[in-house]
Structure 1
Amino acid sequence: MSHRKALTLEEKVALIEDNQNGHGLSVRQLVDNYKISKSSAANILRRSEEFLADYSSNSNKSIKRKLKDENRQKIDEIVFECFAQQRAKQIPISGPILKEKARQVAEQLGYTTETFKASNVDDSTVEEWTQRLSTILDGFNENDVFNADETGLFYRATPDHSLVLSKEECKGGKKSKERLTVLLCSNLTGTEKLKPVVIGRSQRPRCFKNITTSKLPVTWLSNRTAWMT
Protein backbone atom coordinates (compact mmCIF):
# COMPACT_ATOMS: atom_id res chain seq x y z
CA MET A 1 0.00 0.00 0.00
CA SER A 2 1.46 3.39 -0.98
CA HIS A 3 1.69 6.24 1.48
CA ARG A 4 1.30 9.93 0.72
CA LYS A 5 1.21 12.40 3.58
CA ALA A 6 2.78 15.81 4.14
CA LEU A 7 4.38 16.12 7.57
CA THR A 8 4.64 19.34 9.53
CA LEU A 9 8.01 20.52 10.81
CA GLU A 10 7.13 19.30 14.30
CA GLU A 11 6.23 15.86 12.97
CA LYS A 12 9.51 15.68 11.06
CA VAL A 13 11.43 16.49 14.25
CA ALA A 14 9.47 13.81 16.12
CA LEU A 15 10.32 11.32 13.37
CA ILE A 16 14.01 12.18 13.61
CA GLU A 17 13.94 11.78 17.39
CA ASP A 18 12.20 8.41 17.06
CA ASN A 19 15.06 7.29 14.85
CA GLN A 20 17.95 8.79 16.82
CA ASN A 21 16.86 8.45 20.44
CA GLY A 22 16.38 5.31 22.49
CA HIS A 23 13.50 4.19 20.28
CA GLY A 24 15.82 3.54 17.35
CA LEU A 25 12.96 2.94 14.93
CA SER A 26 13.91 1.70 11.48
CA VAL A 27 12.88 3.41 8.26
CA ARG A 28 10.20 0.77 7.72
CA GLN A 29 8.77 1.38 11.19
CA LEU A 30 8.84 5.14 10.61
CA VAL A 31 6.97 4.67 7.33
CA ASP A 32 4.23 2.71 9.09
CA ASN A 33 4.02 5.06 12.09
CA TYR A 34 3.92 8.33 10.14
CA LYS A 35 2.08 7.07 7.04
CA ILE A 36 4.64 8.38 4.57
CA SER A 37 6.61 6.84 1.74
CA LYS A 38 9.98 5.20 2.27
CA SER A 39 11.71 7.84 0.14
CA SER A 40 10.15 10.65 2.21
CA ALA A 41 11.32 9.08 5.47
CA ALA A 42 14.83 8.61 4.11
CA ASN A 43 14.87 12.20 2.84
CA ILE A 44 13.85 13.56 6.26
CA LEU A 45 16.57 11.57 8.02
CA ARG A 46 19.14 12.71 5.48
CA ARG A 47 18.19 16.35 6.15
CA SER A 48 17.80 15.90 9.90
CA GLU A 49 20.30 18.62 10.85
CA GLU A 50 18.50 21.12 8.62
CA PHE A 51 15.06 20.34 10.07
CA LEU A 52 16.32 20.41 13.67
CA ALA A 53 17.97 23.79 13.08
CA ASP A 54 14.80 25.19 11.51
CA TYR A 55 12.70 23.93 14.40
CA SER A 56 15.05 25.47 16.96
CA SER A 57 15.14 28.78 15.09
CA ASN A 58 11.36 28.98 14.80
CA SER A 59 10.92 28.25 18.49
CA ASN A 60 13.31 31.05 19.49
CA LYS A 61 11.52 33.53 17.24
CA SER A 62 7.99 32.68 18.38
CA ILE A 63 7.72 35.51 20.94
CA LYS A 64 9.18 38.10 18.58
CA ARG A 65 6.90 36.95 15.75
CA LYS A 66 3.83 37.19 18.02
CA LEU A 67 4.63 40.82 18.87
CA LYS A 68 5.25 41.58 15.21
CA ASP A 69 1.92 40.03 14.21
CA GLU A 70 0.08 42.02 16.89
CA ASN A 71 1.57 45.29 15.61
CA ARG A 72 0.65 44.47 12.02
CA GLN A 73 -2.88 43.62 13.09
CA LYS A 74 -3.10 46.98 14.84
CA ILE A 75 -1.97 48.71 11.64
CA ASP A 76 -4.65 46.87 9.66
CA GLU A 77 -7.34 47.89 12.15
CA ILE A 78 -6.35 51.58 12.14
CA VAL A 79 -6.13 51.73 8.35
CA PHE A 80 -9.49 50.00 7.94
CA GLU A 81 -11.11 52.40 10.41
CA CYS A 82 -9.72 55.33 8.44
CA PHE A 83 -10.99 53.79 5.21
CA ALA A 84 -14.49 53.30 6.65
CA GLN A 85 -14.62 56.90 7.90
CA GLN A 86 -13.63 58.35 4.53
CA ARG A 87 -16.05 56.15 2.60
CA ALA A 88 -18.85 57.24 4.94
CA LYS A 89 -18.13 60.77 3.68
CA GLN A 90 -18.26 59.50 0.07
CA ILE A 91 -14.56 60.29 -0.36
CA PRO A 92 -12.92 58.03 -2.97
CA ILE A 93 -10.00 56.02 -1.58
CA SER A 94 -7.41 54.27 -3.73
CA GLY A 95 -4.86 51.58 -2.94
CA PRO A 96 -1.87 53.99 -2.89
CA ILE A 97 -3.70 56.20 -0.37
CA LEU A 98 -4.26 53.24 1.96
CA LYS A 99 -0.63 52.18 1.61
CA GLU A 100 0.54 55.67 2.56
CA LYS A 101 -1.74 55.67 5.59
CA ALA A 102 -0.37 52.26 6.61
CA ARG A 103 3.17 53.59 6.28
CA GLN A 104 2.35 56.56 8.53
CA VAL A 105 0.80 54.33 11.19
CA ALA A 106 3.78 51.98 11.01
CA GLU A 107 6.18 54.85 11.63
CA GLN A 108 4.19 55.81 14.73
CA LEU A 109 4.65 52.25 16.00
CA GLY A 110 8.41 52.42 15.49
CA TYR A 111 8.77 50.78 12.09
CA THR A 112 11.16 52.16 9.49
CA THR A 113 11.01 52.02 5.70
CA GLU A 114 13.42 49.08 5.86
CA THR A 115 11.34 47.04 8.32
CA PHE A 116 7.86 47.78 6.99
CA LYS A 117 6.46 47.82 3.48
CA ALA A 118 2.75 48.27 2.83
CA SER A 119 1.37 45.65 0.48
CA ASN A 120 -1.84 43.88 -0.44
CA VAL A 121 -0.58 40.59 1.04
CA ASP A 122 0.17 39.94 4.70
CA ASP A 123 3.82 38.93 5.19
CA SER A 124 2.94 36.28 7.77
CA THR A 125 0.58 34.67 5.26
CA VAL A 126 3.36 34.50 2.68
CA GLU A 127 5.79 33.06 5.22
CA GLU A 128 3.31 30.43 6.42
CA TRP A 129 2.42 29.40 2.87
CA THR A 130 6.11 29.17 1.89
CA GLN A 131 6.73 26.76 4.76
CA ARG A 132 3.55 24.84 3.99
CA LEU A 133 4.43 24.54 0.31
CA SER A 134 7.85 23.15 1.19
CA THR A 135 6.14 20.52 3.33
CA ILE A 136 3.62 19.66 0.61
CA LEU A 137 6.34 19.21 -2.02
CA ASP A 138 8.58 17.16 0.26
CA GLY A 139 9.09 13.72 -1.24
CA PHE A 140 8.15 14.78 -4.78
CA ASN A 141 10.63 15.04 -7.59
CA GLU A 142 10.86 18.65 -8.87
CA ASN A 143 10.30 17.38 -12.41
CA ASP A 144 6.90 16.03 -11.32
CA VAL A 145 5.63 19.30 -9.79
CA PHE A 146 3.57 21.34 -12.27
CA ASN A 147 1.96 24.76 -12.17
CA ALA A 148 -0.69 26.08 -14.55
CA ASP A 149 -2.03 29.60 -14.89
CA GLU A 150 -4.25 31.48 -17.30
CA THR A 151 -3.80 34.95 -18.73
CA GLY A 152 -5.67 37.24 -21.07
CA LEU A 153 -4.12 38.16 -24.42
CA PHE A 154 -5.47 41.41 -25.89
CA TYR A 155 -3.90 40.81 -29.26
CA ARG A 156 -5.29 43.96 -30.91
CA ALA A 157 -4.61 46.38 -28.05
CA THR A 158 -2.41 49.37 -28.81
CA PRO A 159 0.17 50.80 -26.35
CA ASP A 160 -1.16 53.04 -23.56
CA HIS A 161 1.48 55.72 -24.25
CA SER A 162 3.35 56.97 -27.28
CA LEU A 163 6.33 59.15 -28.06
CA VAL A 164 5.44 62.13 -30.27
CA LEU A 165 7.27 64.74 -32.31
CA SER A 166 7.55 68.30 -31.08
CA LYS A 167 4.26 70.21 -31.46
CA GLU A 168 2.57 67.07 -32.75
CA GLU A 169 -1.03 66.68 -31.63
CA CYS A 170 -1.59 63.31 -30.01
CA LYS A 171 -5.13 61.99 -29.85
CA GLY A 172 -6.40 59.00 -27.96
CA GLY A 173 -8.49 56.25 -29.46
CA LYS A 174 -10.83 53.54 -28.34
CA LYS A 175 -9.03 50.48 -27.04
CA SER A 176 -9.81 47.13 -28.56
CA LYS A 177 -11.28 44.67 -26.07
CA GLU A 178 -10.88 41.61 -28.27
CA ARG A 179 -9.07 38.97 -26.31
CA LEU A 180 -7.96 35.38 -26.13
CA THR A 181 -7.47 33.35 -22.97
CA VAL A 182 -4.21 31.41 -22.77
CA LEU A 183 -3.47 28.60 -20.32
CA LEU A 184 0.21 27.80 -19.78
CA CYS A 185 1.61 24.90 -17.76
CA SER A 186 5.15 23.82 -16.93
CA ASN A 187 6.95 21.73 -14.36
CA LEU A 188 9.06 23.26 -11.59
CA THR A 189 12.38 22.82 -13.37
CA GLY A 190 11.09 24.08 -16.72
CA THR A 191 12.17 20.90 -18.47
CA GLU A 192 8.63 19.95 -19.48
CA LYS A 193 6.16 22.47 -20.88
CA LEU A 194 2.71 21.24 -21.78
CA LYS A 195 0.97 22.28 -24.97
CA PRO A 196 -0.67 25.69 -24.39
CA VAL A 197 -4.44 25.99 -24.45
CA VAL A 198 -5.89 29.00 -26.28
CA ILE A 199 -9.57 29.93 -25.99
CA GLY A 200 -11.26 32.21 -28.50
CA ARG A 201 -14.85 33.17 -29.27
CA SER A 202 -15.13 31.39 -32.60
CA GLN A 203 -14.84 27.66 -33.06
CA ARG A 204 -13.24 28.19 -36.43
CA PRO A 205 -12.06 31.78 -37.11
CA ARG A 206 -11.56 32.97 -40.67
CA CYS A 207 -7.80 32.96 -40.21
CA PHE A 208 -8.02 29.17 -39.71
CA LYS A 209 -9.18 28.64 -43.28
CA ASN A 210 -7.43 25.61 -44.80
CA ILE A 211 -5.77 24.93 -41.43
CA THR A 212 -6.26 21.77 -39.40
CA THR A 213 -6.65 22.93 -35.80
CA SER A 214 -5.31 19.65 -34.43
CA LYS A 215 -1.97 20.44 -36.08
CA LEU A 216 -1.61 23.83 -34.39
CA PRO A 217 1.14 24.20 -31.76
CA VAL A 218 -1.65 24.93 -29.26
CA THR A 219 -4.93 23.33 -28.25
CA TRP A 220 -7.66 25.59 -29.64
CA LEU A 221 -10.95 25.83 -27.74
CA SER A 222 -13.82 28.28 -28.01
CA ASN A 223 -16.84 29.66 -26.20
CA ARG A 224 -19.03 32.73 -26.44
CA THR A 225 -16.94 34.89 -24.09
CA ALA A 226 -13.45 33.46 -24.75
CA TRP A 227 -13.11 32.97 -20.99
CA MET A 228 -12.02 29.83 -19.21
CA THR A 229 -15.01 28.18 -17.53
Structure 2
Amino acid sequence: MLNTKLAIVKHLSEGHSIRAMADKFSISKGTVQAAKENRESILNEAERNHSLSKARIVKQCEVNVILWRWFATARARGYPISGPILQVKARQIASELGVEGGDFSASEGWLHKWKERNNIRSYKISRESGNVDLERAEQWKSTLKSLLLGYDLKNVFNMDEMGFFFRALPD
Protein backbone atom coordinates (compact mmCIF):
# COMPACT_ATOMS: atom_id res chain seq x y z
CA MET A 1 0.00 0.00 0.00
CA LEU A 2 2.90 2.34 0.79
CA ASN A 3 4.29 1.77 -2.71
CA THR A 4 0.95 2.79 -4.22
CA LYS A 5 0.84 5.95 -2.10
CA LEU A 6 4.40 6.78 -3.15
CA ALA A 7 3.49 6.33 -6.80
CA ILE A 8 0.44 8.58 -6.38
CA VAL A 9 2.51 11.31 -4.69
CA LYS A 10 5.12 11.08 -7.47
CA HIS A 11 2.55 11.32 -10.26
CA LEU A 12 0.74 14.19 -8.55
CA SER A 13 4.01 16.12 -8.24
CA GLU A 14 4.52 15.61 -11.99
CA GLY A 15 1.25 17.43 -12.64
CA HIS A 16 -1.21 14.57 -13.12
CA SER A 17 -4.76 15.18 -11.92
CA ILE A 18 -6.46 13.51 -8.97
CA ARG A 19 -9.05 12.01 -11.33
CA ALA A 20 -6.30 10.51 -13.58
CA MET A 21 -4.58 8.93 -10.55
CA ALA A 22 -7.86 7.50 -9.26
CA ASP A 23 -8.52 5.92 -12.67
CA LYS A 24 -4.95 4.67 -13.10
CA PHE A 25 -4.80 2.92 -9.69
CA SER A 26 -8.52 1.98 -9.60
CA ILE A 27 -9.12 3.76 -6.29
CA SER A 28 -11.41 6.54 -5.14
CA LYS A 29 -10.66 10.22 -5.60
CA GLY A 30 -10.83 10.59 -1.81
CA THR A 31 -7.93 8.15 -1.37
CA VAL A 32 -5.84 10.09 -3.88
CA GLN A 33 -6.78 13.39 -2.17
CA ALA A 34 -5.75 11.92 1.22
CA ALA A 35 -2.40 10.86 -0.25
CA LYS A 36 -1.91 14.39 -1.61
CA GLU A 37 -2.66 15.95 1.79
CA ASN A 38 -0.39 13.49 3.65
CA ARG A 39 2.47 13.78 1.16
CA GLU A 40 5.17 14.60 3.76
CA SER A 41 4.23 11.81 6.16
CA ILE A 42 4.14 9.28 3.28
CA LEU A 43 7.61 10.35 2.11
CA ASN A 44 8.97 10.21 5.67
CA GLU A 45 7.51 6.76 6.28
CA ALA A 46 8.95 5.49 3.00
CA GLU A 47 12.39 6.82 3.92
CA ARG A 48 12.27 5.20 7.37
CA ASN A 49 11.19 1.83 5.95
CA HIS A 50 13.76 1.98 3.17
CA SER A 51 16.60 2.81 5.53
CA LEU A 52 15.68 0.05 7.99
CA SER A 53 15.29 -2.62 5.33
CA LYS A 54 18.50 -1.55 3.61
CA ALA A 55 20.44 -1.68 6.89
CA ARG A 56 18.98 -5.12 7.66
CA ILE A 57 19.93 -6.45 4.21
CA VAL A 58 23.48 -5.09 4.47
CA LYS A 59 24.01 -6.70 7.88
CA GLN A 60 22.59 -10.02 6.67
CA CYS A 61 24.92 -9.89 3.66
CA GLU A 62 27.83 -9.35 6.03
CA VAL A 63 26.77 -12.43 8.01
CA ASN A 64 26.65 -14.47 4.80
CA VAL A 65 30.10 -13.30 3.63
CA ILE A 66 31.78 -13.80 7.00
CA LEU A 67 30.18 -17.24 7.37
CA TRP A 68 31.40 -18.24 3.89
CA ARG A 69 34.98 -17.20 4.75
CA TRP A 70 34.85 -19.14 8.00
CA PHE A 71 33.39 -22.19 6.24
CA ALA A 72 36.01 -22.12 3.46
CA THR A 73 38.82 -21.91 6.01
CA ALA A 74 37.42 -24.72 8.15
CA ARG A 75 36.79 -26.97 5.14
CA ALA A 76 40.32 -26.31 3.80
CA ARG A 77 41.69 -27.52 7.13
CA GLY A 78 39.66 -30.71 6.73
CA TYR A 79 37.08 -30.08 9.45
CA PRO A 80 33.68 -31.67 8.83
CA ILE A 81 31.06 -28.91 8.94
CA SER A 82 27.38 -29.83 9.34
CA GLY A 83 24.25 -27.73 8.94
CA PRO A 84 23.69 -27.21 12.68
CA ILE A 85 27.29 -26.06 13.07
CA LEU A 86 26.74 -23.51 10.27
CA GLN A 87 23.55 -22.27 11.92
CA VAL A 88 25.21 -21.79 15.31
CA LYS A 89 28.16 -19.99 13.71
CA ALA A 90 25.80 -17.75 11.70
CA ARG A 91 23.91 -16.79 14.87
CA GLN A 92 27.20 -16.06 16.61
CA ILE A 93 28.37 -13.83 13.73
CA ALA A 94 25.00 -12.06 13.63
CA SER A 95 25.14 -11.29 17.35
CA GLU A 96 28.71 -9.99 17.02
CA LEU A 97 27.57 -7.69 14.19
CA GLY A 98 24.64 -6.48 16.27
CA VAL A 99 21.90 -7.94 14.08
CA GLU A 100 18.76 -8.23 16.20
CA GLY A 101 17.03 -11.59 16.58
CA GLY A 102 13.97 -10.45 14.62
CA ASP A 103 16.12 -9.31 11.71
CA PHE A 104 18.08 -12.54 11.32
CA SER A 105 17.25 -16.15 11.98
CA ALA A 106 19.55 -18.95 10.94
CA SER A 107 16.59 -21.19 10.13
CA GLU A 108 16.56 -24.37 8.05
CA GLY A 109 15.22 -22.38 5.09
CA TRP A 110 17.99 -19.79 5.41
CA LEU A 111 20.59 -22.56 5.62
CA HIS A 112 19.22 -24.31 2.53
CA LYS A 113 19.29 -21.08 0.49
CA TRP A 114 22.76 -20.17 1.80
CA LYS A 115 24.07 -23.56 0.70
CA GLU A 116 22.46 -23.13 -2.73
CA ARG A 117 23.91 -19.63 -3.19
CA ASN A 118 27.38 -20.85 -2.26
CA ASN A 119 27.12 -24.17 -4.13
CA ILE A 120 27.75 -26.28 -1.03
CA ARG A 121 26.99 -29.98 -1.14
CA SER A 122 27.17 -32.51 1.65
CA TYR A 123 29.70 -35.21 1.09
CA LYS A 124 32.02 -37.35 3.10
CA ILE A 125 35.45 -35.89 3.71
CA SER A 126 38.02 -38.56 3.16
CA ARG A 127 41.45 -38.13 4.64
CA GLU A 128 42.83 -41.31 3.08
CA SER A 129 44.52 -39.69 0.09
CA GLY A 130 46.75 -37.55 2.30
CA ASN A 131 48.02 -40.59 4.21
CA VAL A 132 48.84 -42.81 1.22
CA ASP A 133 52.42 -43.84 0.53
CA LEU A 134 52.48 -43.63 -3.28
CA GLU A 135 55.61 -45.79 -3.65
CA ARG A 136 54.08 -48.67 -1.69
CA ALA A 137 50.82 -48.31 -3.65
CA GLU A 138 52.72 -48.80 -6.92
CA GLN A 139 54.47 -51.86 -5.46
CA TRP A 140 51.10 -53.29 -4.39
CA LYS A 141 49.70 -52.85 -7.91
CA SER A 142 52.45 -55.01 -9.36
CA THR A 143 52.04 -57.58 -6.56
CA LEU A 144 48.26 -57.65 -7.10
CA LYS A 145 48.67 -58.41 -10.81
CA SER A 146 50.79 -61.46 -10.02
CA LEU A 147 48.26 -62.62 -7.37
CA LEU A 148 45.36 -62.39 -9.83
CA LEU A 149 47.02 -64.40 -12.61
CA GLY A 150 45.36 -67.64 -11.49
CA TYR A 151 41.81 -66.19 -11.55
CA ASP A 152 39.34 -65.43 -14.34
CA LEU A 153 38.35 -61.76 -14.55
CA LYS A 154 34.73 -62.70 -13.83
CA ASN A 155 35.88 -63.81 -10.37
CA VAL A 156 37.72 -60.58 -9.52
CA PHE A 157 35.66 -57.96 -7.66
CA ASN A 158 36.21 -54.44 -6.47
CA MET A 159 34.55 -54.48 -3.06
CA ASP A 160 34.25 -50.71 -3.10
CA GLU A 161 31.79 -50.86 -6.01
CA MET A 162 29.93 -54.09 -5.29
CA GLY A 163 26.80 -54.65 -3.25
CA PHE A 164 28.28 -57.31 -0.99
CA PHE A 165 27.76 -55.13 2.06
CA PHE A 166 24.00 -54.84 1.59
CA ARG A 167 23.33 -55.03 5.32
CA ALA A 168 26.02 -52.54 6.30
CA LEU A 169 25.02 -49.06 7.44
CA PRO A 170 25.75 -46.27 4.94
CA ASP A 171 28.68 -43.98 5.69
Larger radius of gyration: 2
TM over 0.5: no
Q: TM-score, normalised by structure 1?
A: 0.34
Q: TM-score, normalised by structure 2?
A: 0.43
Indicate the structure with greater helix content: 2
